[in-house]
Amino acid sequence: MKYKISIIGAGSWGTAQSRILADNGHDVLLFDVDADTVFEINTNHTNISKLGDVKIPASVLATTSIEEAVNYADIIILVVPTAVMRKCLISISKVIQSTKLFVNASKGIEPNTFKRVSEIVYEEIENKYVRGFVALTGPSHAEEVILKLPTFICAASECLENAKIIQSIYSNNTYFRVYTLLDLIGAELGGSLKNIIAIASGMLAGLGYGDNIRAALITRGLTEMIKISVELGAKKETLYGLSGLGDLIVTTMSEHSRNFQAGKKIAQGKDLKQSLKEMTMVVEGARSAMAAYQLVKEKNIDAPIIEAVYDILYNYKDPQTAMSDLMNRKLKSE
């Protein structure tokens, strides 16, 4: 079945997704607040600042009108940085006129409220307009997807029928494969928390360390992700899947990851503000680190890696000292 789909946020990930959906035969409209990006997509079929000179299908159109984007679609895909997600949903709530299936492909938790994007959607959009919610998450660098390199991710929802719709519209038999998943909480938290561990991984690279400690970071970081996610209602097994461990591996191991790059710059002597300024794309892990730190303090969860990242980002702790403190923690069993 052919769908009309609006993607809210024409950054790297939104633009890469427009290619998959257009390749799969759907009608796609991208929305962005940045008029230059919209003009470039409509005239040159590129998004050079985010994805280089790779062409996206000419059938993909873009708009700066949120009203046009919302009323065009059966399915709304949210791909804006989570810091503007609530604001963006409020603007959608003012123009929406019929029921839509909402999909979120952004990754982050809201500081202070600890809300996941699904919760923010149900808070901001009148429920009669929300047919359902699906989180699209897993190991997926936009830079590879736009080149049609093979990618496997998850469509997570509390409603299997909705997850299956998203699975079928995104999957193709050449480069994109989607699995359904019924643990929405686990999928949303896995995708958000792994970005904090990716910052730590970049810090270790910036300090000049090797593969041994990176492997230890991935396994001990996963343990912290599991503790927090299970406390908030996730299933432990979900964190071992594509939306947890899969995404954790890709983001801690790759220079494509903005979170990794930000961590590396910080370990090399830049502060958070300075390194964020140098990034042209969003670094979600910094905001998620704030939320996760507040949460582990409130729930009394032992999460030394997340606490160390928070201290380096927000209390200007020296990364080398943080590493030394982690090494000197009381010895214990795994």
Ligand X SMILES: NC(=O)c1ccc[n+]([C@@H]2O[C@H](COP(=O)([O-])OP(=O)(O)OC[C@H]3O[C@@H](n4cnc5c(N)ncnc54)[C@H](O)[C@@H]3O)[C@@H](O)[C@H]2O)c1
- Residues with catalytic function: 194
Which single residue is written with the structure tokens 């962005």?
32
Q: Which of 135, 142, 165, 262 binds ligand X (CB under 6 A)?
A: 142
Contact 267, 204 (CB under 8 A): yes
* Residue 281 found at the interface with ligand X (CB under 6 A): yes
Cβ 35 to ligand X, closest distance in Å? 10
Does position 51 bind ligand X by CB under 6 A? no
| In the complex, minimum distance from the CB of residue 50 to ligand X, in angstroms, rounded to a whole number | 5
Nearer to ligand X by C-beta: 52 or 269? 52
As measured in angstroms, the least distance from the Cβ of 91 to ligand X is 7
Is the Cβ of residue 18 or residue 323 nearer to ligand X in the bound state?
A: 18
Binding residue (CB under 6 A) for ligand X from 19, 32, 116, 196 = 32
* CA–CA gap between residue 307 and residue 312 (Å, rounded): 9
* Least distance between ligand X and beta carbon 208 (Å): 26
Q: In what order do the strands lie in the sheet with 75-78?
A: 61-63, 27-31, 4-8, 75-78, 100-104, 130-137, 151-156, 176-181
Stretch that binds ligand X, among 69-77, 102-110, 162-170, 209-217 (CB under 6 A): 102-110
Q: Which of 106, 151, 157, 261 touches ligand X by CB under 6 A?
A: 106
Evaluate the CA torsion angle 162, 181, 138, 193 in order and state its sign: positive
Closest to 262 (Cα-Cα) out of 40, 271, 253: 271
Judged by CB under 6 A, the residue of 61, 84, 147, 207 near ligand X is: 84
Stretch that binds ligand X, among 68-76, 210-218, 264-272, 278-286 (CB under 6 A): 278-286
Least spacing, CB of residue 249 vs ligand X, in Å: 14
Instruction: Tell me if 13 contacts ligand X by CB under 6 A.
Output: yes
* One character per residue 283-302, x = contact with ligand X (rule: CB under 6 A): -x------------------
In single-letter form, the type of residue at position 172 comes to N
Contact of 203 with 319, CB cutoff 8 Å: yes
- CA distance linking residue 58 with residue 43, whole number of Å: 9
With CB under 6 A as the contact rule, which of the stretches 22-30, 199-207, 280-288, 309-317 interacts with ligand X? 280-288
SS3 154: strand
Task: Using the minimum distance from each CB to ligand X, give the nearer residue, 193 or 323.
Answer: 193
- CA 238/CA 250 separation, integer angstroms: 16
Which residues, 6+ apart, have CB-to-CB distance to 253 below 8 Å?
201, 214
Return the structure tokens found at 154: 């998850």
Of the candidate residues 81, 209, 325, 326, the single one contacting ligand X (CB under 6 A): 81
Give me the helices (H) in the chain, please. 12-23, 35-44, 48-51, 66-72, 85-95, 117-124, 142-145, 160-170, 184-206, 211-231, 236-239, 247-253, 258-267, 272-278, 284-299, 304-314, 319-327
Query: Binding to ligand X by residue 34, rule CB under 6 A?
Result: yes
- Per-residue x/- marks for ligand X, 193-222, CB under 6 A? ------------------------------
Angstrom CA distances, 280 to 105, 245, 250, 277, stand at: 19, 26, 20, 8
Using the minimum distance from each CB to ligand X, give the nearer residue, 213 or 248: 248
Count, residues near ligand X per rule CB under 6 A: 29
Find the shortest distance in angstroms from Cβ 31 to ligand X.
Answer: 6
Residues in the site for ligand X, rule: CB under 6 A?
8-14, 32-34, 37, 50, 79-82, 84, 87-88, 105-108, 140-142, 281-282, 284
